[in-house]
Structure 1
Amino acid sequence: MFDSNTSPVMLDLLILPETNLILVASVIEPLRLANRVSGLELYRWRIMSPNGQPIETKSHIPIPVDGAFQPGKEEEPLFVLSSHNWQRHATSELKRLLAKSARHRSVVAGIESGTWLLADAALLDSFSATPHWEDYEEFATAYPNVRAVRERFVIDGKRITTGGSLPTLDLMLELIRRRHGYSLALEVSRQFIYEQGGARGTTVAMPSTGSIRLADPRVSEAMRMMEEHIEQPLSLVRLARRIGLSERRLQSLFTAAIGAPPHIHYLALRLNAARRKVIETRLAFADIAAATGFNSASAFSRSYRAHFRESPSDTRKRLVVPSHRT
């Protein structure tokens, strides 16, 4: 699941009753957006419940399912989602089926209280795992064979755990980044930007993701300036000078904040802007190249192909112009 690849990934989602809608959305929506943004079916998913009945959420909005959790020898990643009262649904039969299924799965993930269910089925023994922050002490005491850690999410070999809904969103963006690269993960994360109504001035909306956690306002300012200079990109020297830093210091701050150097982030912004124009307009590629800061159509085409594994013309040929809705 983590290898760089464009072949579709099928995920099995086992959702327990009383799970929050936002937790389910935190898993599915980044995958849906990755498909929409890329114009490819990169991800598919099946939804299962313990008994095959629609899942009754805490919001009293039922979630339809594809069937009951009756595993055979499926190798697809299995995500186990639970929010409230996981013990009520953690029957001995369900734990037996989870243990049986885990022998074949490439990855098994415990999402929020799904972490408790995996631990109770002895599927996290000798693995690092994270529960919700409120439950850390209780979890660590209850399962001494699990290496409990205080993190938003943990990827430890064939086991994944998360500590809540927004950490799950962070996790999904990280999985997209590992498989499909920084550009796609960035563009998906930007779909979740929230701006308070009427916000003005220097306030910059930034995605809350596993790889983009901005504590340094100078990095935020650099990102804002990159956004404002897509057509005529600033050199890193000029960008750093405007913020009052050396180029080397900007490189260091950027890498510490988002796990990527500034030139990678800047190029991803420009190429994502270009891909939107390729998909959503009929502009000539030379015009798109000029609008996104490339010196020539050929330079644009080379960079586009290197990032998206297809040419701009390939993208346009296979796509119907989508709506602008997220």
Structure 2
Amino acid sequence: MIRKAPQELPQRIVFFLVPRFSLIAFTSALEPLRLANRESGKRLYSWSLVSVDDLPVRSSCGIPFTPDAKLDELQHFHTVVVCSGEDVQKVDDRRIYSWLRRVDRTGVDVGALCTGAHILAKAGLLDGYSCTIHWENLAGFLEDFPEIEVTPELFEIDRNRFTCAGGTAALDMMLNVISAQHGHELASEVADQFMHERIRDQHDQQRMSLPIRLGVRHPKLLAVIKLMEDNLEEPLTRIQLARDAGLSTRQLERLFRKYLSRSPARYYLELRLNKARLLLLQTNMSVIDVALACGFVSASHFSKCYRDFFGRTPRKERGLPSLAGEDDED
């Protein structure tokens, strides 16, 4: 429904702020609405800020935002946007979920920015819908909500649900909404004001391509790295990696030493450990389950590798006391 022109103007939008919400995602969603009003010469959109307890909410960078409406006094709005960011998996306030379910029953559009899909999922509002989330939170979301269809898209609009990956993806999502509701010409005028030279669609990638991200363009090396990223739970052997890329194991070693200053085994291990850290911080999976999900055969081997790389054990990463036998030194 959010792709259709509203039946009445202005379209009233409620931004629900969750502590540590992403400031760039929030402003990237809000500012296009302001500029759409200015460029069109009409009041197409209006907005309100709310929080669960009607108190100021600090953003991810610590700047506080004061709600301008009381949650239980809101009336006659068309759209709700949940704004969250860091540590979303720690949010566990039943008041949020019950309010979202209540407003959903009125037929309004319900969406989320950045990690807000996690909150919608916990409220049961993504069952039967497609959604997306920031790439850094994708693995954790898949573990927590395996029954929900989550994609790596820049944003997803599925009937009266919309989600975006956060950051400037919120800008592109809102530009697409403005285009669908009020025409491409207006959306282009708004994009020009942002010096945003291209309006991305939902299928654009969230992350930079491997060559840009790594500063490497050797096709066979990139092919091996892609294989590694696609096989973290059941790591491929050095022989398998070399064979699939059409290389000898010696050539494989030389490529990694030349371009990445480390061995293939070391690079692969770092990929798996970085995924493990995200799962530890974003899910309630046990340490052994995280270890298995990242290709380690035992918790002890995983803990040793993790401490060697990050300087702390997996349990200490979560702020938990170490178990007997673990090295507590940092």
1:85 aligns with 87
Question: Do the aligned partners of 2:173 and 2:202 also contact (CA within 8 Å) in 1?
Answer: no
Question: Do the aligned partners of 1:14 and 1:47 also contact (CA within 8 Å) in 2?
Answer: yes
Q: Match for 1:159: what amino acid? A: R
2:5 aligns with 4
Q: Match for 2:5: what amino acid? A: S
Matched, 1:155 2:149: no
User: Superposition RMSD on alpha carbons, in Å?
Assistant: 2.3
Separation of aligned partners in 1, 2:92 and 2:25: 18
Alignment of 1:174-189 (within 5 A): 174-189=176-191
1:306 aligns with none
Matched, 1:209 2:200: yes
Q: Match for 2:117: what amino acid? A: T
> What's the TM-score once normalised by structure 2's chain length?
0.57
Alignment of 1:103-122 (within 5 A): 103-122=105-124
The gaps in structure 2 that reach 5 residues or longer are 205-330
1:127 aligns with 129
Cα distance change of structure 1 residues 4 and 64 upon mapping to structure 2, 3 Å threshold = same
How much has 1:60 moved relative to structure 2?
2.2
Separation of aligned partners in 2, 1:190 and 1:50: 35
2:54 aligns with 52
How much has 1:190 moved relative to structure 2?
1.0
Separation of aligned partners in 2, 1:76 and 1:120: 22
1:17 aligns with 19
Separation of aligned partners in 1, 2:79 and 2:102: 14
Separation of aligned partners in 1, 2:155 and 2:203: 14
Q: Match for 2:125: what amino acid? A: L
> What's the TM-score once normalised by structure 1's chain length?
0.58
Q: Match for 2:191: what amino acid? A: S
Counting aligned pairs with the same residue, the percent is 31
Separation of aligned partners in 2, 1:208 and 1:59: 27
Question: Do the aligned partners of 2:133 and 2:163 also contact (CA within 8 Å) in 1?
Answer: yes
Q: Report the count of equivalent residues.
A: 203
Separation of aligned partners in 2, 1:76 and 1:181: 20
How much has 1:20 moved relative to structure 2?
2.4
Alignment of 1:1-326 (within 5 A): 1-4=2-5, 7-70=9-72, 74=76, 76-193=78-195, 206-210=197-201
Cα distance change of structure 1 residues 144 and 88 upon mapping to structure 2, 3 Å threshold = closer
Question: Do the aligned partners of 1:14 and 1:69 also contact (CA within 8 Å) in 2?
Answer: no
Q: Match for 1:36: what amino acid? A: R
